[in-house]
Amino acid sequence: MSAIVSINNLHKSFGANKVLNGVSLDVQKGQMVAIIGRSGSGKSTLLRCLNGLERIDSGDINVCGHDIHHPDKLNLRELRKQVGIVFQSYNLFPHVTVERNITLALTTIKKLSSAEAKKIAHNVLTLVGLEAKKDAYPEQLSGGQQQRVAIARSLAMAPELMLFDEVTSALDPELTGEVLKVMEDLSRQGMTMVLVTHEMAFARKLADILVFMHQGKVWEVGPPDELFTHPKTAELAKFVSSDL
């Protein structure tokens, strides 16, 4: 196996607030790594560091061959082509169709022809089960469908790594299921992914590695079943029992 993400002793503060306090973590190609932890423990900040949305204070991060800790040498454009990120809010462009939401970056950033871009849109929409909705506008879709379009839009760039930050948190339970299903399919097809999630059952069943973050640190890390059944720290034990 080869590491697609390698984080070593990452520190990041916002003013006096130490948000990441020496995080080290590796993600191997094809793995699903799920990050859990209380609000404010630094999960989102960690994900944002991985595609260069945050400048780090110290430590080494290599993502898909890019050294994030050398901002002067970092090719952000290339990094972001290789690393897709999906947030809780889907941020689709409201005034264009589902298909155009997906083809926009392909024709403008990747300079593909309209025909090539539409072919890719067809493929990724099929993957998330929404090919029939290509001519719809975002507001005509449910929240779950919009989130699946957001995932498809990210996949259209052919990323090597996908980051998901609580992508189901704004959704009703029945819509959550359809989005998790898309993520499960993606993982089965070999996509490397790091997700922050509250979906404990999903993380436990599907993640290769579970990471419990607490106070800006990787507090515990390992196979999900082990962490759930034998938490080593009182903090994880408490988190797991309050969450299930």
Residue ranges in contact with ligand ADP by CB under 6 A: 14, 17, 19, 37, 39-45
Report the distance separating Cα 97 and Cα 236, nearest Å: 44
**Phi/psi of residue 213, nearest 5 degrees:** -100, 140
Mark out the alpha helices in the chain (DSSP H runs). Answer: 43-50, 76-82, 98-108, 114-127, 143-155, 173-188, 200-206, 224-229, 234-243
Q: Is 215 left (phi over 0), alpha (psi -120 to 50) or beta?
A: left
Positions 129 through 188 that interact with Mg ion (CB under 5 A): none
Q: Minimum distance from CB of 9 to Mg ion (Å)?
A: 22
Among 31, 41, 44, 192, the residue binding Mg ion under the rule CB under 5 A is 44
- Between 42 and 224, whose beta carbon lies closer to ligand ADP? 42
Residue nearest to Mg ion (CB): 44
Which CB sits closer to ligand ADP, 37 or 84?
A: 37
Residue placing its CB nearer to Mg ion in the complex, 51 or 101: 51
Work out what residue 204 binds among Mg ion, ligand ADP, none; the CB cut-off runs from 5 to 8 Å by kind. Answer: none
Q: Which is nearer to ligand ADP, 42 or 138 (CB)?
A: 42
Count of positions on this chain that bind Mg ion (CB under 5 A) = 2
Residues 52 and 184: their CA atoms lie apart, in Å, by 26
Distance CA 235, CA 9 (A): 21
* Interface contacts to Mg ion, rule CB under 5 A: 43-44
